[in-house]
Amino acid sequence: MKPAALVTGGNRGIGRGIVLALAQRGFDVVVNDLTRTDDTEATLASAQRHGANAAFVPGDIADIGAHHALVEAVFAAFGRLDCLVNNAGVQVKVRGDMLDVTPESFDRLVGVNLRGTFFLTQAIVKRMLWQPPAEHPRSIITISSVNAVVASVNRAEYCISKSGLTMMTKLFSARLAQAGICCYEIRPGLIHTDMTAPVRERYDQMIAEGVSPIRRWGQPEDIGRAVAMLAAGELSFSTGEAVHVDGGLNLRLL
Q: Is 203 a catalytic residue?
A: no
Question: DSSP secondary structure string, the chain?
Answer: ---EEEEET-SSHHHHHHHHHHHHTT-EEEEEESS--HHHHHHHHHHHHTT--EEEEE--TT-GGGHHHHHHHHHHHHS--SEEEE------SS---GGG--HHHHHHHHIIIIIIHHHHHHHHHHHHTTSPPPSS-EEEEEE--GGGTS--GGGHHHHHHHHHHHHHHHHHHHHHGGGTEEEEEEEE-SB-SGGGGGGHHHHHHHHHTTSSSS-S-B-HHHHHHHHHHHHTTTTTT--SEEEEESTTTT----
Q: Which is catalytic among the residues 56, 158, 172, 217?
A: 158
The residues annotated with a catalytic role in the active site are: 158
